[in-house]
Amino acid sequence: MTRWIDVTALADIPRRGSRVVALPMGPVAVFRTGDDQVFALLDRCPHKGGPLSQGIVHGHAVTCPLHNWTIEFATGAARAPDHGCTPRFEVRIVDERVHIAVAQSLAEAAE
């Protein structure tokens, strides 16, 4: 089971930017694309752990600031020829607030 956690206002995430939120599973980068879609990935590149939140958002992907791997928001997977995957989390927008799905067991452990 999952539980939705309200993490930030949509307006607090710049377009083509991100905001990092602390969640039970670690720091999560919440990205807002140029077309106002929102995605959430663990803020850790699948290559060597670079902070994806500090990367460049383009289309529905982010380029890691350390060695330029590109990570797809829809899957968390690195774009070929690189390979690897970072965890991604379900996101919903309710009344201009961003909610992220967290496993119930993790949410309870954080309380």
- The footprint of ligand FES (CB under 6 A) covers 45, 47-50, 64, 66-69
At closest approach, how far in Å is the CB of 67 from ligand FES?
Answer: 3
At closest approach, how far in Å is the CB of 55 from ligand FES?
Answer: 8
In sequence order, the 6+-apart residues with CB closer than 8 A to the CB of 49 are none
At closest approach, how far in Å is the CB of 69 from ligand FES?
Answer: 4
Alpha-carbon distance 22 to 39, whole Å? 15
**Between 2 and 70, CB nearer to ligand FES:** 70
**Between 62 and 102, CB nearer to ligand FES:** 62
**Between 50 and 76, CB nearer to ligand FES:** 50
Q: Please say whether the beta carbons of 52 and 86 come within 8 A.
A: yes
